[in-house]
Structure 1
Amino acid sequence: MNNQLLVENINFSYNKKNILKDISFSCSNGIMSVLGANGAGKTTLMKVLIGANKPSTGKVLLNNENLLRDSNNMIGYLPQNFDTYDNITGYDFLSYVCDIKNVDSTEKKQHIDKVVEQFNLKMIISKTIGSYSGGYKRRLGIAQAVIGNPNIVIIDEPTVGLDPEQRLEFRHYLSEIGKERIVLISTHILEDVELYTNNILIIDQGSIIFKGSTSDAIAQAKNSICTINVNVDELKLINKKVIVIEEKRLENNMIKIKFIPNDNFIEKSELEKEVSLENAYVFLQKCKTSL
């Protein structure tokens, strides 16, 4: 089934402060990454989509059903700080989630066995959750999110706190579950984004400043970022004149900088040919490009 998510004109305020401002986007099966600095509004948006935050205006439709009115077990969710009772087993916890999501009792064991196998939990599923490592807890978290075969899975900061090997493993899991459903990921780790999705949404101060492919984001920045080699003393002066995107130390006490040029800086420089997603991300944030 090709699932369709439509988000239109979502506004959300807290203590008279506008946290989300006219958020609109759409997506279908696969992975979309929602990027933004801490405090940009990513987690607030995720909570609106799962029904934990009620927006002041807007609508959210999943396959033409109103998620703001009734999620109907269509959503799986893994929060950044996933936690549960330490004194129950992983199996008992997944059984409890099945009951919450109204999984047919005659299919429950088969359903649990499937996600246990899918996320390599067999060795520890009968042990109490308090004995799990951080990596195993994260696996259990993604397993409970896909219980009930939801149409959309929403994950907040999926690889925070995981070591490099665990992060690689987790990216594989996300790619697998994204084949049959929508996966929305809130993150600020650009390395993860480059490996498991080409579809991104960038939020800054509660507003969408970019939506599209990673290649489109890079293309926008490519003709707007210059590079120059300077010494340490010159770098301090340049920082006062332009917006520096990246600094890289070279030999002989020299530093290569990538920056957004302006009329206040006419020094000899050239357009940067190698623009990374991180460069494009910073460029779009600094320029506040509204699309």
Structure 2
Amino acid sequence: MELSFDRLTKHYGNKIAVDCVSATLEPGVYGLLGANGAGKTTLMRMLCAILESTSGEVLFDGQDVISMGADYRNVLGYLPQDFGYYPNYTAMEFLMYIAALKGIPKKIARQRAKQLLEEVGLSNVANKKVGTFSGGMKQRVGIAQALLNNPDILILDEPTAGLDPKERVRFRNLLSDYAGDKIVILSTHIVSDIEAIADEVLLMKKGRFVLQGTVSELIEKAKGKVWELTVLPEEARKWQKKTTVANLRHEGKQLVLRIISDTMPTPEAVTCEATLEDLYLYYFPTEEGA
């Protein structure tokens, strides 16, 4: 099984949202990482055949996904960033409705919906209206609907938005278990979600892939760019203005700054082991950096 896209591009007037990106994806979890505005959602909508590309193509096992039509939709599960729902439907009613749209037989759909509500931790509220749910609970309904047809390709756009830390761990475990023989694409700017489960990371900036590789391969790119510097509290603001400070912590009356920089910021700084978050901050020192 293979999902590939070649020189995929999307223009909106004079703006280039996705700029000639290519990749070949086989079963596993792929983390699409980038700041808001990097082009992640536009790319995912093209991969789902919801949005027509300006140029380039998306192929599933060598076939163009646009020409495949319903055959492609049958193997696809998608959670958009802005997940829509019917507030007066119960969680079970909503999943049954989505299952009907996907052409899943009623008996199979009910069994699958019950199983998924259990897996996302909503079985105890299956008969309560979705409109009464918290944001995190609604997001879990969205994750369940994307999995209803047991898709070969699962595309999730910011799936952990609104989930608390415990819910995020549950989701990551669910996804890791599911992805054994499936292609899973997870878009987020929450670095810890990617670091925990992605087999491969695609780092996207200004519509392009700037890096692609395993988590360890990408972290290696940040090696030698992460420093710790102990300063007096009144000096901290100066460093925050002149460089990227990933973190600061108090040690007695002093502050220890974690600085992302190509060069040693000062002879007193010491090198640190890099993380994926450090790499992210190196490429996106501010959200506006996208």
Matched to 2:148, the amino acid is I
Q: For 1:137 and 1:51, how far apart are their aligned partners in 2?
A: 25
Q: Is the 8 A contact 2:233 2:253 kept in 1?
A: no
Pick the aligned partner of 2:14 from 13, 16, 24: 16
Moved over 6 A (4+): none
- Residue segments in structure 2 that go unaligned for 5+ positions in a row: 286-290
Alignment match, 1:81: 82
Name the % identity: 32
Deviation at 1:269, TM superposition (A): 4.4
Q: How does 1:234-245 map to 2 (within 5 A)?
A: 234-235=235-236, 238=239, 242-245=243-246
Q: For 2:260 and 2:128, how far apart are their aligned partners in 1?
A: 52
Q: For 2:259 and 2:37, how far apart are their aligned partners in 1?
A: 26
TM-score (norm 2): 0.86
Question: Per the alignment, do residues 74 and 255 of structure 1 end up closer, same or farther by CA in structure 2, a change over 3 Å counting?
Answer: same
Alignment match, 2:113: 112
Pick the aligned partner of 2:38 from 35, 40, 51: 40
Q: How does 1:136-147 map to 2 (within 5 A)?
A: 136-147=137-148
User: What RMSD, in angstroms, separates the aligned Cα atoms of the two structures?
Assistant: 2.5
Deviation at 1:100, TM superposition (A): 1.7
* Secondary structure of the structure 1 residue equivalent to 2:94: helix
Alignment match, 1:222: 223
* Secondary structure of the structure 2 residue equivalent to 1:279: helix
Q: For 1:259 and 1:48, how far apart are their aligned partners in 2?
A: 34
Greater helix content: 2
Alignment match, 2:206: 205
1:5 and 2:3 aligned = yes
* Secondary structure of the structure 2 residue equivalent to 1:162: coil
Deviation at 1:48, TM superposition (A): 1.2
* Secondary structure of the structure 2 residue equivalent to 1:159: coil
Q: Is the 8 A contact 1:242 1:261 kept in 2?
A: no
Residue correspondences, number: 282
Q: For 1:266 and 1:141, how far apart are their aligned partners in 2?
A: 45
**Range with greater deviation from structure 2 (136-145 or 266-275):** 266-275
Alignment match, 2:59: 61
**Range with greater deviation from structure 2 (116-125 or 91-100):** 116-125
Q: For 2:239 and 2:122, how far apart are their aligned partners in 1?
A: 53
**Range with greater deviation from structure 2 (188-197 or 229-238):** 229-238
Deviation at 1:79, TM superposition (A): 1.7
Question: Per the alignment, do residues 236 and 49 of structure 1 end up closer, same or farther by CA in structure 2, a change over 3 Å counting?
Answer: same
Q: For 1:271 and 1:284, how far apart are their aligned partners in 2?
A: 21
TM-score (norm 1): 0.85
Q: For 2:134 and 2:240, how far apart are their aligned partners in 1?
A: 43
Deviation at 1:247, TM superposition (A): 4.1
Deviations 1:228-269 (A, max 9, x none): 33335555555566555544444333443423145xx77314
Question: Per the alignment, do residues 169 and 108 of structure 1 end up closer, same or farther by CA in structure 2, a change over 3 Å counting?
Answer: closer
Q: Is the 8 A contact 1:247 1:255 kept in 2?
A: yes
Question: Per the alignment, do residues 284 and 93 of structure 1 end up closer, same or farther by CA in structure 2, a change over 3 Å counting?
Answer: same
Q: For 2:44 and 2:92, how far apart are their aligned partners in 1?
A: 27
- Residue segments in structure 1 that go unaligned for 5+ positions in a row: 287-291
Q: For 1:88 and 1:270, how far apart are their aligned partners in 2?
A: 57
Q: Is the 8 A contact 2:10 2:55 kept in 1?
A: yes
**Range with greater deviation from structure 2 (81-90 or 229-238):** 229-238
Q: Is the 8 A contact 2:230 2:255 kept in 1?
A: yes
